[in-house]
Structure 1
Amino acid sequence: MSLVACLLWTVFSGSLGGPVQVTNSPFYHLPMFLDAPEPVVAQELFLPVPHRRPVPAGITSLLLPVKRPQQSVQGTGPRAVEVFCGGDQIFVRVDRFQVRSWTNPYLFRLGTCRVSKVNPRFLYFHDRLTECGGESQIVGGQLVYSFTLSYTPPPPQGFAIRVIPLTLPIHCHYNRFHYSYKVGFRPQVQPKTFLKSTRSKLSFSLTVCNEHWEPVPEGQEFVLGELVYFIAQSGVLLAGESLYVDSCYATSTKDPDSQLRVDIITNYGCMTDSRREGSSSYFLSAGGAVLKFSVDALLFRAVSQVLYLHCSMSVSLTTSHVSKSCNYNTAAGRWEELEASPSVCSCCDSTCTDGQDGEFRTSNVEN
């Protein structure tokens, strides 16, 4: 008994799919597409040119293809194995009535894939071309996917062999060049007006101040544990927008990537340093383009006494999990937002994410 794999996809490879011209009619009936194993015309002929020119002769055969006789498959009766190669999938159907020697459908394999469906008459494989361990290669200008349909019987018991192994090669052929037709297409342009507001990039600043919120001169020294005050400020904002400090950390060098660092503000506006026992680090006031906060002066052990504060700021229309100013209230044992509901601070002990829609812009500043 012979097994024949009917590759339906490739039988009509290169076929134009019907008549080209109708007799006594000025119109042409063109195919929906044309496949070819190699380029029909040079790719350069499709490039735009700045002036009119006659249609190159090479394109004529593509625009008005010559009529070819439609191919057909001679009937050979029911097939034991039928194959259909789709765009990115392969379908295999095995007639169980014609492969009676191989009785157990679950011992069939298409490459590494198991049977997808079984009924009393047929068993089916339905898988992607890139699955099942198939191989792909270029053969004669075509992309060919190769698989093996196999049946591995269990080891024989005693000296009698009841079933022999089955191995059947299966191939899917695809032309690499595809020309599609769109006849009578005329684009219709509907004019529309799109309005988009444009704004210059916002400027951000961070100023070191004394307890009277007066900028301190360069080289000002602070005593360990003394409060250092900061004013974060942005340029002019739109109505309803507010400035937020998303993060701040101190280092002993100007390098923001220094491994030696102390986090002050983290997690999109959580004053982490306020959880420290005896801390006086807090957000103090906020609103609009100005935000004020204080930090306890600190030193790094056995390094320079000069500290650098690196901060990331953002502007948002609404207070949210990623736009907030949260202090830790030790007496109440909870996080509290400076102006809004404490609920936006509920993520300060985990990871804050953007749970609300809103426009925001960010910038990094150092001091």
Structure 2
Amino acid sequence: MAFIWDLAMWFCLGAVMAVNAELRTDCRPDYMSLVWTDSRLQADPSLFRLGSCFPATISPREVAFSVTYDDCNFRRLVTGNELNYTNDLIYTSSPDSYVNPFSLPVVCSFERPKDWYPMTYDPEFSTYGVEDLVFQVGLMNADFTGPSESNVYPLGSMISVMAAVDQQDHQPLLLFLEECIASTTPDLHPGADLYPIITNKGCLVDSKVSRSKFEPREKLSEIHLSVQAFKFALGHEVFIHCTLVAWDPNGLDDTKKACHYNKDHGWELLDNPAYNGLCDCCESTCKSRKRRNLSEKHGLEKKAVVGPLTITA
């Protein structure tokens, strides 16, 4: 297999220069290595991820990864005679940090093997537009590498839901699921039977009684949710009604968060466990602060519906 090594996509070059850093990649047929060097020690090395993977080594000025393409949620894409493995180097900053969160795409390109063909999907995703943002939400397969091929889930199995926002010309935004409620109808109305999944401004309350959880982020503009199939409306069509929020990564508080419950450690924050305190209000009420108007580009929200899906005994 022919391959191209030392290849990386330098997206958001201004963000890279802002932290005086260098990104180097070495693409091999079965694995790749990536090294991030920060000459001025402005970013916290422990907050880097390559897709879903933690660094192999960390030093005060360098972060290194060495992974195979089966790890870290790499995506495979065939374009013409090229087979591309794509992922994202993600930096999840803390709320009070002066280094903003960012995501850089990383690509390793090879000549496509003659006997290799990608899996094909015929997804049905819902798309919603607001201002200059485009939201998408849909059911995914178990490892979130493609849309689900079925909307029927045995009781106790995992339902994979992905939400994403195409930022287009907007400033970088972090995507949250502020609320998700299951219903037997595509429209919520008074008196409808409801099953709460996410409430209280991003608290995955279903995780207290099940294996439901937020999955590690691959991109700031996406969020992955695994929900354990529940008994609610067993055998009937179910629709999951969600509120998607795209928000300024530097404007986070206990009303803009993604929290799930760990049976051993209590409530945990998806994006930075060092700030698990933002989840404390999940046991009471997470109060909304006064919203800034949209002209301040602080964030936007959109209602979305996933389904129908059916849970079987």
- Normalised by the length of structure 2, the TM-score is 0.48
Relative contact order, CA 8 A, sep 6+: which one is greater? 2
Structure number having the greater strand percentage: 2
